Amino acid sequence: MGVLDQIYEKAKVNPQRVAFPEAANEKMMQAAYETGKEGFIRPILVGDAAELNALCKERGYETEVFTIVDIQEETYRQKLIADYVALPGTLLKERAVGRRMENPLYFAMVMQAVGEADVTFAGIDNTTGDVLIAGQTIIGLQPGISTVSSIGLCDIPGFEGSEGTLLAVGDSAVCTNPSAGQLADIAVSACDTVKSLLDWEPRCAMISYSTLGSGQSELVDKVVEALHIAQEKRPDLKIDGEFQLDAAIKPEVAAKKVLRESEVAGKANVLIWPDLNVGNTAVKLIQTFGHADAYGPMLQGFNKVVCDCSRGAPVSEIKGNIVISAVRAAGNK
């Protein structure tokens, strides 16, 4: 059974409520309908109810598969606003929340924040920046985390790692040149994401061109500092480094290069890149020469699961990411 098959099975056991603020979009509605019809999620379409009902009829979808939420329905809207401003730590006042909720993206996130939805799924009509700003404003960041980042899951044919052909990698999409503190946040978030999605025990390697001081420069210093911050923040997690890629994932290389005890070296299942130059290039190399399937990017660092899919994604990819986001949400509860 492949990785996506396993994730789909997990989703079916405990389907989550996924809010779609771009529900009128044809690809998004199709993906929401098919994942809902097949029992993987409970889809919530957020927008103009009359338009959404008409589009369902026009496209041949059974409306009972969906919950359709009208952002103009005043009673429900006022209830959401009241529930939201009553949340501990909320900085926005009623009027400010109400203004933002004229946008379905913000409406969906308010629903999620107050427990009326488990996931907000967007990205077809909204830019990544739109989704990130809305998420930080309404959902907020996890305690102790100050950085939104991403993680991807690579299924690499022929790779024989500690989790078979699977490897989690990040950040390959969001943080361009993270500071040491941000890099530490990415590592901590990645471990939590992997644990909630796949039930792995994360073994996280901080990647560099150097292994334990074999190279010396500011580039290496940043990774070493990030490692110390991450270990201090979350001593319960197995995060180690700095390692070159081969020392992180190949036991025979780790045996030669890492001459101390390590629960990560040679058997890492999570790799943290030092910056986006490395991360983006590495993923494209894995896909191009390793013929890997790459799932994601999955946003991480938010208080709840927010998903930003690629604007050019086909329906099949959107469906996969919807189900992944739902399983993450179930694992975070």
Alpha carbons 306 and 136: distance in angstroms, whole number: 10
pLDDT score of 313: 78
Which residues 6+ apart lie within 8 Å of 252 measured at CB? 266
Q: Once rounded to an integer, what is the mean pLDDT over residues 324-332?
A: 88
pLDDT in tens, 109-118: 999 999 999 9
* Residue 143, pLDDT above cutoff 90: no
* Percent share of the chain, pLDDT over 70: 99
pTM exceeding 0.75: yes
pLDDT score of 274: 97
1 pLDDT band, cuts 50/70/90, is low
Phi-psi region of 49 (alpha: psi -120 to 50; beta: other; left: phi over 0): alpha
Q: Residue 105's beta-bridge partner residues?
A: none
Mean pLDDT of the chain: 93
Q: Once rounded to an integer, what is the mean pLDDT over residues 31-50?
A: 97
Alpha carbons 239 and 181: distance in angstroms, whole number: 14
DSSP β-ladder status, 119-122 and 149-155: unpaired
* Residue 4, pLDDT above cutoff 90: no
Chain-centre distance for alpha carbon 213: 32
> Ranked by mean pLDDT, which of 26-40, 162-176, 287-301 comes out on top?
26-40
Which residues 6+ apart lie within 8 Å of 188 measured at CB? 144, 145, 230, 233, 234, 237, 239
pLDDT in tens, 53-84: 999 999 999 999 999 999 999 999 999 999 99
pLDDT score of 298: 87
Angle between helices 315-332 and 180-198 (to 10 degrees): 90
pLDDT in tens, 156-175: 999 999 998 999 999 988 89
DSSP β-ladder status, 203-207 and 238-243: parallel
* Residue 296, pLDDT above cutoff 90: no
Alpha carbons 29 and 147: distance in angstroms, whole number: 31
* Percent share of the chain, pLDDT over 90: 79
pLDDT in tens, 184-239: 999 999 999 999 888 889 999 999 999 999 999 999 999 999 999 999 999 999 99
Residue 24 DSSP label: T
On whether the CB atoms of residues 20 and 28 are closer than 8 A, the answer is: yes
Task: Locate all alpha helices (DSSP H) within 234-275, ordered by sequence.
Answer: 245-249, 251-257
Q: Once rounded to an integer, what is the mean pLDDT over residues 101-108?
A: 98
pLDDT score of 173: 86
Q: Once rounded to an integer, what is the mean pLDDT over residues 241-261?
A: 96
Alpha carbons 32 and 19: distance in angstroms, whole number: 9
Q: Once rounded to an integer, what is the mean pLDDT over residues 138-152?
A: 90
pLDDT score of 294: 81
* Phi (first) and psi of residue 276, to 5 degrees: -75, -25
Residue 291 DSSP label: -
For residue 187, give the nearest of 211, 205, 213 by alpha carbon: 205
